Amino acid sequence: MREWTPDDITLAITNNIDLAKLLMENTDNDIVNSITGITGKYNVASNESINLTNVLQWFSENRPDLYGAIMNHKDGIKWLKENLNRLKKIL
pLDDT of residue 47: 64
Q: How far apart are CA 60 and CA 29, in angstroms?
A: 21
Domain boundaries, position 23: 6-90
* Identity of the residue numbered 45: A
**Is residue 29 one of the residues assigned to a domain?**
yes
Please tell me the total count of domains within the chain: 1
Residues ≥6 apart with Cβ < 8 Å to 1? 30, 31, 33, 34, 63, 66
Under a CB-based contact definition with an 8 Å cutoff, are residues 5 and 65 in contact? yes
**Is residue 77 one of the residues assigned to a domain?**
yes
**Is residue 1 one of the residues assigned to a domain?**
no
What is the tens place of the pLDDT at every residue in 66-85? 999 999 999 999 999 999 99
- pLDDT in 10s for each residue of the chain, 91 residues: 568 899 999 999 999 999 888 877 775 556 556 655 655 555 555 666 789 999 999 999 999 999 999 999 999 999 999 999 988 887 6
